[in-house]
Amino acid sequence: MGRNYSKEDVAQLRLGSGTELHGDGSLVVLKALLESGVAYLGGYPGAPTSSLYDAIADAYHDVLEPMGIYFEGSGNEAAAGALLSLSVHYPVRGAVNWKVVGSNVAADALAHVSASGVYGGALIIVGEDYGCNSTTVAEKTLPYAQKSVCAVIDPRGDAETMARMVREGFRLSEASHMPAFYLFRTRTGNLKGSMTCEDNQEPPISMKNRLTKPDVQLDRTCLPPFVFDHEREKFAERIPAARDYILKEGLNDWIPGEGRGIGIITHGMIYNTTVRALHSLGEADLEGHTWIDILCLNVIYPLVPQEIVDFLRDKREVLVVEEGMPNLLEQEIRAIAQEHGLPVRLYGKDLLPMPGEYSPSVLIQGIGKFLTRTVYAANGQKSLIEGKIQDLTAHLEKAKSSFAAPVSVRNPIFCTGCPERPVFSALKIMQKAYARPHYAQDTGCYAMGTMAPFDSITASYTGMGTGLASAGALSKLSEKPVVSFMGDGTFWHSGLTTSVANAVYNKQESVLIVFENFWTSMTGQQENPASTHNMRGEPNSKMSILGVLKEMGVQWIRQTNPYDLKASMKAFREAMEARGKGLRVIISRAECMLEKQRRAKPERKAALAAGATVEDVKLGVDDEVCTGDHSCMRYNGCPSLTVKPGPNPLREDPIATIVTSCVGCGLCGEVAHAAVLCPSFYEAKVVSHPTVWQKARFKVSRALIGGLLGVAV
């Protein structure tokens, strides 16, 4: 696939002690993993950890494999979580990654690992993207970690701290015998920075130095009577040990101010935004120095009561800046203050929004309120700080008032030429003749079919691999057909067992459309079992979705080319009319266009440079024929299809036009023809370095056309 990291980036991962690495958050974290003696890595791609997943794959053969480090592209998050069980019995360090909702998929495996406790350091790098819209559900890792008793590291946003907290994360995990979550936020993952390197450490147990005999302990097994000891250990031994280590090593950052009795407690990347807001209000300089005492929690679970008490002891008023809900940090800090009888006044969600992302504009207003109520209320400067807030936020109201009507929400859309778009175009066109079916969605690119222009609004949307399962009762209680969607990556992730096996077993009456595009596209085109190679770049004979479905007992299966709209609509029609035949599956097979273009464009460029003949297919719209009906857009929605003023002054509507980003898939013309028999689309071949025969044929064609038109062409 087209990955993110060059050979120069990967070469930095071999840097030794005292040198500087320059890169993004993924490169920083991976370097720190190598410096920590990690022995195995796994995970499942999901924002914002996909770039880390790619960095590991890019570096595998050049860096990881020579060090004996094992890496796998896990089948799903549960498989990745189970991978950590190696660290339960052996002093082996391992790390896995997934996005925040992946913890729900991994819950069973991770609950067992955390109950047993680990002896080798175990790190779970979680894409904590709260409020950034890079996942379908706004969730936080902290409640999950508290439930299973795992440490939670939330490093503030600079490369040095991120690297240090990876190294300390393993040590904390080993000191407390708890797995540790490491929050990899959207902004920490994408930041560019520098870190001072340490030497890489080859793991003592690895693919080069394999285990020679089993060395396991029965009391680490999650079976009675041992589970009762595990529960006692969590609270009587592991949490106290973690607190001791956090305090001893100073993992949290106490940034002293001028000791005026005012303080702020915050965490991770939110510290950076907090300091930015203070600077905007004139309460901090560009380097973040401020007169306010700040406690930045790089470890948000477990909290160390002694550390909280020491910070609060000499304070009159303190603001807790905690992003998202539930506000567990604020609640625990309030409980600690009350338990120790501290007279400090605590503020938090009473001044700051409960849900949503804490952007600078949000914190400017929230911290501004805190300062006006505390510092500036008594000395007559309240109006000064309120004036600053008004000046800093006035542009928001101005922006709103500058539009006569609200700006339309811009929904995410399919890429140009995406092979999933034709399916939703076909279904929408069919609704002219057939009643609209019920739709049951799954998580993937295809979920965008719910939105305009397709409007296949779903009766259920329940996450990866569960769309078909969610339609179980609906399929028996509805007179209309029920149509579910699933990608090939999701099929192999969990859809095979959660949905397909369940549907066959329960004789579910549904239509399932499987998008087989050979990549896990929604997270950046990572390999999956449908690809020709695995994440390590090793050849992979494609695991057949068709073959598996047949073996599972699915009787009604069709394979279609999505760009052949007529054939696709025929298959959909047959599936919807085959009620009584159980599960009907249509496999829509065509490669992800983004990945196809990543491969085709360099090949085309090389061919042109070599003087070879290259043909490019382009679609166009005849300006004189287009009536401005726009059916092509209402049933298509391709980013390459837009509007422009028409040449006919008697027609007020703008006409359709195709911009240069077109990849020539032909869908817009097929859709327009299927919807309204539109004749305005044409296909043209642009030939570079034509052969003699092609030149001669072109001249003959032009002469014939000119003769028919009676003009010279």
pLDDT for 407 equals 66
Contact in structure between 85 and 36 (CB atoms under 8 Å): no
Contact in structure between 154 and 166 (CB atoms under 8 Å): no
Q: How far apart are CA 151 and CA 175, in angstroms?
A: 11
Q: How far apart are CA 678 and CA 652, in angstroms?
A: 19
Q: How far apart are CA 500 and CA 491, in angstroms?
A: 9
Q: How far apart are CA 55 and CA 63, in angstroms?
A: 11
Contact in structure between 294 and 251 (CB atoms under 8 Å): no
One-letter amino acid identity for 351? Answer: L
List helix spans (H) across 73-158.
77-83, 86-89, 102-105, 107-116, 141-148
Continuous segment of H or E residues that includes residue 253: strand 253-255
Contact in structure between 259 and 293 (CB atoms under 8 Å): yes
CA distance readout (Å), 339 to 25, 261, 334? 39, 20, 9
Contact in structure between 359 and 396 (CB atoms under 8 Å): no
CA-closest candidate to residue 424, choices 413, 411, 409, 408: 413
Domains of the chain: 7-206+221-248 (3.40.50.970), 254-401 (3.40.50.920), 421-589 (3.40.50.970), 613-709 (3.30.70)
DSSP per position, 570-624: HHHHHHHH-TTS--EEEEEE---HHHHHHHHHHHHHHHHHTT--EEEEEEEE-TT
Tell me the chain's radius of gyration from C-alpha atoms.
29
pLDDT for 2 equals 46
The model's pLDDT over 640-672, given as tens digits with 9 standing for 90+, comes to 888 888 888 877 889 888 888 888 888 888 888
Structure tokens at 35: 């410096």
pLDDT for 500 equals 92
CA distance readout (Å), 195 to 19, 24, 192, 198, 256? 8, 10, 10, 9, 24
Directed axis angle between helix 667-676 and helix 565-577, to 10°?
Answer: 60
Q: How do beta strands 94-99 and 122-127 pair?
A: parallel
pLDDT for 412 equals 79
Q: Low-confidence residues of the chain, pLDDT below 50?
A: 1-2
Q: How far apart are CA 266 and CA 276, in angstroms?
A: 13
Please give the model's pTM, rounded to 2 decimal places: 0.89
Q: How far apart are CA 556 and CA 512, in angstroms?
A: 10
pLDDT for 406 equals 67
Q: How do beta strands 482-487 and 192-196 pair?
A: unpaired
pLDDT for 266 equals 97
Structure tokens at 140: 């936080």
Q: How far apart are CA 521 and CA 508, in angstroms?
A: 28
Phi/psi at 319 (nearest 5 deg)? -105, 130
